Each structure stands twice: as C-alpha cells, then as structure tokens.
Structure 1
Amino acid sequence: MDDISPAARDVFARTWTDDRPWEFLSRLTALGDRMAGTDGDRRAGELVAEAFEDAGVRDVEYDPFEMACWTRGKTTLTVAAPDSRSFEAVALPYAPSADVSGPLVNVGYGTPDEIDEKDVDGALAVASTTTPAGGRFVHRMEKFGYALDAGAVGFLFVNHVPGQLPPTGALRYDEEAPAPAAGVSKETGDWLRDYAERGGEARLTIDAETTPGESRNVEGRVGPDTDRELVVCAHYDAHDIAEGALDNGCGIATVVTAARILAAMDLPLGVRVVGVGAEELGLTGAEHLVDRLDLDSVAAVVNVDGAGRFRDLVAMTHASESTATVVSRVADESNHPIRVEEEPHPFSDQWPFVRAGVPSVQLHSDSGERGRGWGHTHADTRDKVDERNIREHAMLTALVVRELASDAAAGAVSRLDDDDLAAAFRQADFEVGMKAAGIWPTGWD
C-alpha cells in the first residue's frame, strides 16, 4: 500500500485523533428514537447528509421510498396459571394488534428440531435469543416463522443476556406479521420456562398499528465519475426502544469517517456512499436501492453493519471469493487481523445485492460473545462505544474499498452464480428457516 497518495496519508494520520466520529455519533444517538418512518428517522437522515458533505462526499441527496411504518402501543403479558401475575414485555415490530392465550411451551433455542419435538399447536412458544454453539446463528424471523407454521398462536423471545433487557426485532420484512410476538428479559424468561414445565398458561395482548410510511436513503459520491462503481453503505435507523449506538450508529459513523479518507484517495472507480434507511424493518432501503440502480454497473458492495462496535473486525464475504481475497490482502498488508467468514446470511443490507449476484462483504466486529449482546435492547447506548474502534475500522474500511475498486477495475471481481449461492445457503442450513421466514428466493427451488 505504498502507492497511497500524500494527501490520503495525511487524512489517515489525522483520523487517529479526529473527534468528528464521536461528535457525529453523539448527535445521532441524542435523537433517541430513529425508527424508520418517524420524525427521528427524518432528522437522522439530515445528520447523515450533513456528515457526508463535511467529509467531502459530493452530490449528496435524499432518495425517499415507501415503507410499512409500524407504531408501538401497549403490550401486556399475564400468566394465568399456576400463578396470576404480569411481566414486562416489548412487542416485536410488525406484530399485529392481538389478544391471544394459550399454554406456555419452552422450545429452548427455537431451532426447527426443538420446535418439532414439542407440541406448540395453540400455544405461546418461548424461545431464546441465542442458538447452540457449534452451528450457525438462527435468526429471530426463522424461529418465529417456524413456530407459527407448527401451530403456535404467539411467540415470546427471551433475551439470553441478563439485566432486565427485553429485546426487540422485526418479525417480517416490511409487512405486518400474521401473529403476535413480544420480547422478554432473561429474568422473565426464567419464570416463563418454569411455568411452562408446570403446565402454565399465559395471555399476550398487543396494541400496534402498521400504516403506509416513508423513509429515505442518503446518497453521495466519492472518486471519479465512472460507468462502473462500488457501493459502500451502512444503515442509520434504529429501533425505537434505544439509542442504537452499537446497532448501527457505529456502522454509519464508520462509513462517514471512511468516506473522508476515500475522498482524498486516487480511486480507479467511483464509489456511491449510502446511508441506508429502514434496515431494521425489512432491509427496505437496500431493496429500494437495488431496484433503482443498474446492477450491471455495480462491481461490488461493502455493507458496514456491525463494524466499529468491538475491537476485532470481521469480514463476512457471503460466498464471494473475490471479496475474501481483497480482505485477506488488506489484513496482510496492513498487519491488522481481519477474520474472514465466507458463510452467507440474508439479514443485513448486502442481502438484496447478494441475491442479485453482486459480490459483497459485510464488515462486522466481534465481542467474543454469541448473539447481539446489548443490541436491540434499551441498553444499546453511547456509553458502550469505544470511539477508537470506529476510527480504526474506518481506516480499514477505506483500504478494503480501495483494494476492491482496484481489483474490480482490473476485472478481478467475479459475479455470484445463482446455483452456487443456493448451494451455499443450503450448506449453511438456511433453507428451512428462510422458507419459514418467507425470504427464500423462488428461483432457488
């Protein structure tokens, strides 16, 4: 990487002590509610646009899109037997207004095998937010969908992290779910499992509304004007119960900081920089972006969802040998470890691109713990962030983008094949869960 220009090297050097990433994150998290379709979401988009322009991103503009706006009302969870008592619960986005009752059935981690072992017909299924070690992480949408297919009338999602932290997270992609679900704390889950063993019954009542709404992507460009381009993105929305500092305030702060470095670099391809809206409610902003762009002109995508949170950078390369090669080269030449995970998944903004055959990498980071930790709870606050991670991961992100642009310009970045992708998702044991969640592509059958 000796060919980096003096101007870019100067920006790299200043990044080590730059206080703007922290200032941006502070302003973003101070908004509180950044749920897609709300006023906080609109104000967050304005902050992203200002930050892009300050970083040297040109032609910054808003690209609005329609989405299903979900509004939270009151949620109650009451155990009717063997005791009579109420617990705190948080409705999961796209849960409908509903009032359901039934026996509590503990389905453990909520994997398909565990649900198959229990009779959940007419029941409230109780499942953990985590999954067994040694296998892939089973997503909330898969657990919910599979439980409903087995006859459950409701779903209770139990955090595996202590601290009275009921979790949230969408049940469907940009549409109302067919049955109610709520998150409960680890401590509440302990009681629910106990009651389930004793034949307990519960009632879940949710007041919520899904209506037509609008969010927006924030777009701009760095580098030359070329026919082909790279897309670098991070979502800036968050759930309404927390500040969303880790998920994904750190990610969008990393992209803003990386954009400042990229704007000073000599790049062989243009780069479209995007703050993506409505990721948490169904990857809706990314879907809109894919629908609008000429994907033949998109050489590759770098999605920053999870980078900047923790010390160790992880590159999820989603079955792309091309992006894995680039990340490994950056790690070697920068003398900085980046763990490469080739296994794909459909639960972040790279998915619509991957599904269309665009080689992608998701930059994440590893806390050493399995699961989201404080993410998707009211504990996802700014005090959890170490700003040094944002600055360092931004520098690595810029290097990955630069190297990926160089390889793409040289014709060394290959498209993804549909058959190979379907095989990779089947190899990772995703087919059953994705079909239960309603997101398995019809062309892959």
Structure 2
Amino acid sequence: MASGWNMDDLSPDARDVFARTWTDDRPWEFLTQLTAVGNRMAGGEGDRRASSLVADAFVDAGAQHVEFDTFEMAHWSRGQTTLELTAPDERSFEAIALPYAPAADVSGPLVDVGYGTPSEIDEHDVNGAIAVASTTTPSGGRFIHRIEKFNYAIESGAVGFVFVNHIPGQLPPTGALRYDEEALAPAVGVSKETGSWLAEYASRDGTARLTVDAATEPGESRNVEGHVGPDTEREVVFCAHFDAHDIAEGALDNGCGITTVATAVRLLAAMDLDLGVRVVGVGAEELGLTGAEHLVNRLDLDRVATVVNVDGAGRFRDLVAMTHTSEATAEVASRVADETRHPIRVDETPHPFSDQWPFVRAGIPALQLHSDSGERGRGWGHTHADTRDKVDDRNIREHAMLAALLVRELATAAANDEIPGLDDDELATAFRQADFEKGMKAAGIWPGGWE
C-alpha cells in the first residue's frame, strides 16, 4: 500500500485550513440553517430548501461545478393514524405511521415477537395478527434492521406491524418500510412506554385495530454534486445524505454527516490530490437510497475508484470506518488512525442500509464513516428528539479532518492501483455469513445475481 505520511506532507495552505478548522464557526452555522428547515422529507419543500443550503455550502467550501441533479422518487405523505386496543379493554395509544405504509384499516390479535428477528417471528403464529417488535436487537450479533423485521413479519402473514422504541421518553420511532415503493401492509411506531402495555395485552390475548391515512405519489428529489481536486480519468465519490424524516430536525441523522462532508470539502479543496473527488449531497436516502441509486445508474462506474459515504459521523466522539468487506479501505482507515493518533474503529461487516450499498452491490470498494454512542440502536435518531441540541460540533470538525485525510489517502492508493474492486461471490458469501439473506429477500433487496 501507499507509504506513510504526516501533516508536514501537506502544503502550507492545507495546513492552515486544518488549523483553522479547529475553531471554525461555519459547520455549526450550516447545521443550524439545515435543522431550522424543519421537515426535510424527500420530495417536499423542505427537501428543496435543504439541497440549496448544501449547494451553497459546497460552493463556499471551494467545490467547483456545483449543480443539482433531479430524479424521480415515490413521495410519501402522512395523515391521521390510530392504534386502538379492542380487547380485553378498549383504549387508544399514540402511534405514528411509518413511511410507505399504505392507507389501511386492519384488525387482529396482538402478537409480541420480541426483537422481531426472523427466527423469533418463525417461533410465533403471526398469520392474521398485528406483530409487535422492538427497535433493538439481541446483543452478540449484528443489528437487525427495521425493514427486515417488518417485511419478514408481513411475508409470514401478519396484517400489521408495531415498531416499539427501546429508548424511554414517549418517543415513537419512524423509518421507511420499503425502498422507494409503497409497502403491502400498514406499520406504526410507538414509544417504549406504549410498547410495555402492548406486550402485556398480547400476553392476555389482546386484539387491536390499526388505521393509517397516508398516500404514496410520484415525486422528485435531487442530488447536489460538485468537484474538488484534479480532473482525472478515475475519481473518488465522497457523499452524505441531507434528507431527514418529517417528525424531527434530523440533526444527528444526517445533519451531522452532511455537515462533516461540507467541512471536509474545504480541506480537500486546499490539498494536492492524486485523483479528483466527486462530492455529493444525496437526496432521498431515508426513503430507500433513491438518490444513491440514481447516482450509481448515472455514473460511469469504471471511473469510480472508491466511495466514502458519511452516514453517522460527527455524532459521537470516536469515528467508525465500516469497510463492507474491502481489505484495502480497511488498511487505509487503520493507517490514518495510527498516523494521526486518533482512534478509528474498523468494522468489515457489510450491510445494505445506507448510500454506499448501491456502489458496493456494483463491486465498488467503500467506506461508511459512522460514530457510536456505545448504546445498541439508533438512540435519538428517527424520533422527535433528533434535534440540534444533541450535537457537539467538535465531533463534526474533528471527523471532517479525519474524513478529508481518509479521502486523500484513498485517492493516492487508488491512483497507485491499490484499491481492488469487490468480488461478487465473496460479497454474497459475506452477506450470507452475516445472516442477511432471509431479511433482504423479504424486503425485496437481495440481488438477483446472488441466487
């Protein structure tokens, strides 16, 4: 791999930009503007306002050729939702519909499926039932995503689904049920406190009625694209999504991520890079990675050396580099951690639930930059509590510097032909070994070529 380096390898201008980043007010100002938009659900007015803020931030940071790239997507909007216990008592509970839930009115017995893993669902008779599952998953294994739980429950015969937050505080969670299309059955999020009642009623053969008023209609969103570095035949894609769910400000998910990218762009623009970098603010991630899918379909993938997706960085203290089976990107992440003496935890386990997935599926090696609180699950994310006051912008500034160095080193390694593409058979094996096949097939996202 490429030889080691230190900060003295940077030009005086680049070192100056790094030094000023420690106290730069612009990341906090950008995050403030973004979260003040409020509802940034893809396809709505807030989505368009947010994309304009991202474009302005890219230009201000020194990106060239900044432009919007519009794409079609399935726009979902919510109406009223009700969750009513019909036996053994009659009472109602607060609930919010999950995106891509169809308009529906269903009734059935409540069945508590615990964490909602496929194996737990197999242990219960959910046919004709409303399945009740936690947002978290058992310790000791990988995190089972909401999309897997919901779609496997519906495939197993459930007529409805209740997603119970494991975090206290009267915080019903949200999150899409399918990738860019309406689901086959309704689902709602409820608080931990409500979930406790539902589990008790399920143990007493309780029944419930779930009604959802919602609509899925043709809509559009847009990516924001720019360029830093030289014009080269191959390039690095450096991206983060800027959309968020409609129930909160989306400060942590993914205001921190897009702010990290905008801050890193200023650093990259001052560096000498061996490959050009396409910087992208991605739209409609929360509704099915639609912006990333559009980007992958539009680009000449033979030119894409690697992708760095910032989804989750900037939230908490230490950076996590998720390498999605790529030994080469893992080596770069470890080297940058060693030579900066800043911890970066490397996780090679792949997953299909963020914007690197369409690239990884196409064989492009990737890093997803994340950060963990140490707690299992999303924490404040996907709830009303995902607000700006939860953010420590010191993490954003530091992660932006690390992200810029990671992109620089990946560009150098790729220019030296040291970042090989992913092997399709090895990738499929890795997903099977991580026990993704059942859940991804139920959700309709298991690649056809992996059969």
- TM-score above 0.5: yes
The 2-side partners of 1:409 and 1:114 are apart by 47
Residue in structure 2 matching 1:266, options 272, 290, 303: 272
The 1-side partners of 2:122 and 2:220 are apart by 39
1:56-104 CA-partner distances (Å, limit 9, x unpaired): 0110000000000000110000001111100000100000000000000
Match in the other structure for 1:417:
423
Match in the other structure for 2:437:
431
The 2-side partners of 1:247 and 1:395 are apart by 20
Runs of 4+ in 1 over 2 A off after TM superposition: none
Where do 1:22-421 residues align within 5 Å? 22-421=28-427
Q: Percent identity?
A: 79
The 2-side partners of 1:110 and 1:162 are apart by 19
The 1-side partners of 2:211 and 2:162 are apart by 12
The 1-side partners of 2:427 and 2:119 are apart by 24
State the 1:400 CA deviation.
0.2
DSSP-derived class of the 2:320 partner:
strand
**TM-score, scaled relative to structure 1:** 1.00
Matched to 2:177, the amino acid is L
DSSP-derived class of the 1:214 partner:
strand
- Give the aligned length: 445
The runs of 5 or more residues in structure 1 that have no matched partner are none
State the 1:381 CA deviation.
0.1
Matched to 1:168, the amino acid is T
DSSP-derived class of the 1:363 partner:
strand
Matched to 1:229, the amino acid is E
Matched to 1:345, the amino acid is H
1:229-276 CA-partner distances (Å, limit 9, x unpaired): 000000000000000000000000000000000000000000000000
The 2-side partners of 1:426 and 1:394 are apart by 33
The 2-side partners of 1:210 and 1:437 are apart by 18
1:297-355 CA-partner distances (Å, limit 9, x unpaired): 00000000000000010000000011001000000000011000000000000000000
Match in the other structure for 1:442:
448
Matched to 2:349, the amino acid is E
1:103-137 CA-partner distances (Å, limit 9, x unpaired): 00000000111111111000000000000000000
DSSP-derived class of the 1:190 partner:
helix
Matched to 1:100, the amino acid is V
Matched to 1:11, the amino acid is V
The 2-side partners of 1:160 and 1:255 are apart by 30
State the 1:281 CA deviation.
0.1
The 2-side partners of 1:5 and 1:301 are apart by 25
1:389-430 CA-partner distances (Å, limit 9, x unpaired): 000000000000000000000010010010010001011111
State the 1:158 CA deviation.
0.2
| RMSD after superposition | 0.4
The 2-side partners of 1:247 and 1:225 are apart by 32
